A = this chain, B = another copy of it.
Amino acid sequence: MLSERLSKQIEFIKEIDKIKYIQRKTKLFDSDRPENDAEHSWHLAMMTLVLVEHSNESIDLIKVLKMVLIHDIVEIDTGDVFLHDPVKNHINTDEELIAAKRIFGLLPEEQAKEFIDIWLEFEEGKTKESKFAKAIDRFEPILQNSSNNGGTWNEYNIDYEKVENKTKSIQYGSFNLWNYAKELIHSYYKKR
């Protein structure tokens, strides 16, 4: 007989499949094909593995991996919020908290609590792990836009200051990555 516990876990595993349908604004590298949230989350996990040495502080790798793997699961219910959206703000809305409780709530109680806590820690961005996870989350679209002749910066006509303002928090997680990112942003706006 299948335990109730395993059944709950499988229910969650099926539900999160829906993240593969959530399209982001940013496109794949050298491409005009939009990235979806599952692809994005996989790429952030790989970037975390490869770039962890650039964190300003020594961090718990497994916690950062959990953060980047789960950070967009709430978007199954709320949809993707574009970083440069002039109306919607991506600061931990009530709507997102309801989504987190519904989706992670499919899991056995203590697992649900663990995931909700990790997601909240990521959203708040106060711990060293969440600062690095957020740095990686901001860094990926900069790499993508740079490879796509400005990508969403160009498409939505976003000026230099706005991009810098929305991405400079990368430095709280990694000065190295922020220096690299700044160069890419400068270099695009210089030739624009």
* Interface membership of A69, Cβ < 8 A: yes
Interface membership of A176, Cβ < 8 A: yes
Q: Is A23 an interface residue (CB 8 A)?
A: no
Count residues of A near B (Cβ-Cβ below 8 Å).
42
A50's partner among B13, B20, B147 (CB-CB below 8 A) is B13
A12 to chain B, nearest CB (A): 6
Q: Which of A31-39, A78-86, A94-102, A127-135 contacts B (4 or more CB under 8 A)?
A: A31-39
Interface, chain A (partner B; CB < 8 A): 2-3, 6, 9-10, 12-14, 16-17, 19-20, 28-29, 35-36, 38-39, 41-43, 45-47, 49-51, 54, 61-62, 65-66, 69-70, 107, 111, 143, 147, 176, 179-180, 183
